[in-house]
């Protein structure tokens, strides 16, 4: 019994001392350190480069709407993203692997009938494609390649699978976080617009109440003048002028009320536009 315990203690000590196992043990903390999509992708590429020998690596993200896989990061040369071809699900080695959620480890990609060049500047030979997926959705894929025929081992495939399994969740969380931040930004903009609309509405109502009082006071004033003979005996022309002022003020008041009703219709989305000819001179005079 004591011998078994010693053997187990010895094995655990050696496993823990293995730098590759140590790196795998650190992956959980590595990917949970940030919600940034770019940070998690960089962490995945960096971890893979420490564990597996390769010449180039590319990370693709899936657009579910267009079903396209688009390169978002490359390693070690980060400026090569624009040169990477896009793939549709089912297209090429990459599209096939993601559609089937299957790890592909190909000795010489140029001999594979599904091969489509990944990079317009160079052609990989040995290639491994590892889909990135969570239990809820397919996130994308990661490829690692060598420019010579030097097949990746089963250990390489196992290591890549462990890294990408953890990275996929972190990348998806990063994508959701970016969407959340974008939606929060949209909500802040919408709230600012609502506040501005509310301010303008209050300002409009204050101005409109003043505009309504002006013709209403004119109607009341001239009516009182005629009714109570406040100006004494007036001529027929003066009486007609008073009536004209009452009439014009009434028309103005009605026009203002109609404007308010029109604005209410516009706000409710029930405004019908009618095109009519009108005299510009009379319209300008009425406004002034």
pLDDT in tens, 20-43: 566 556 666 667 667 788 888 888
Average confidence (pLDDT) over 8-18? 43
pTM of this prediction exceeds 0.85? no
Q: Which residue has the higher pLDDT, 191 or 258?
A: 191
- Write out the two tokens for 247: 């009439």
Cβ pair 44, 132 in contact under 8 A: no
Lowest mean pLDDT of 32-41, 97-106, 196-205, 269-278, name the range.
269-278
Reported confidence tier of residue 208, pLDDT bands at 50, 70, 90: confident
Which residues, including other chains, have CB under 8 Å from residue 59's CB and lie 6 or more apart?
A: 41, 44, 45, 71, 72, 73, 74, 132, 140, 141, 142
pLDDT digits (tens, 9 = 90+) for 38-60: 888 888 999 899 889 999 999 99
Helix then strand then coil, % of the chain, to nearest 5: 60, 15, 25
**Residue ranges of domains in the chain, CATH in brackets:** 2-171 (3.30.450.40), 202-287 (1.10.287.130)
């Amino acid at each position: 019994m004591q011998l078994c315990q010693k053997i187990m203690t010895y094995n655990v000590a050696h496993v823990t001392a293995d730098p590759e196992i140590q790196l795998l043990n650190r992956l959980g903390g590595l990917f949970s350190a940030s919600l940034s999509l770019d940070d998690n992708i960089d962490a995945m590429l960096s971890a893979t480069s420490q564990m597996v020998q390769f010449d180039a690596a590319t990370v693709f993200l899936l657009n579910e709407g267009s079903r396209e896989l688009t390169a978002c990061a490359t390693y070690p040369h980060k400026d090569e993203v624009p040169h990477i071809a896009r793939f549709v699900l089912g297209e090429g080695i990459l599209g096939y692997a993601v559609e089937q959620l299957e790890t592909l480890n190909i000795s010489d990609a140029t001999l594979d009938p599904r091969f489509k060049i990944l990079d317009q500047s160079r052609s990989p030979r040995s290639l491994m494609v590892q889909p990135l997926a969570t239990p809820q959705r397919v996130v994308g894929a990661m490829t690692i390649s060598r420019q010579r025929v030097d097949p990746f081992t089963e250990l390489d495939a196992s290591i890549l699978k462990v890294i990408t399994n953890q990275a996929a969740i972190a990348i998806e969380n990063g994508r959701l976080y970016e969407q959340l931040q974008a939606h929060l930004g949209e909500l802040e903009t919408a709230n600012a617009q609502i506040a501005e609309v509310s301010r303008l509405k209050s300002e409009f109502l204050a101005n409109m109440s003043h505009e309504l009082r002006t013709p209403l006071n004119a109607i009341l004033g001239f009516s009182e003048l005629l009714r109570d003979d406040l100006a004494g005996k007036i001529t027929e022309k003066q009486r007609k002028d008073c009536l004209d002022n009452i009439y014009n003020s009434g028309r103005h008041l009605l026009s203002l009320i109609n404007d308010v009703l029109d604005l209410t219709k516009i706000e409710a989305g029930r405004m019908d536009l009618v095109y009519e000819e009108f005299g510009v001179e009379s319209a300008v005079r009425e406004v002034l």
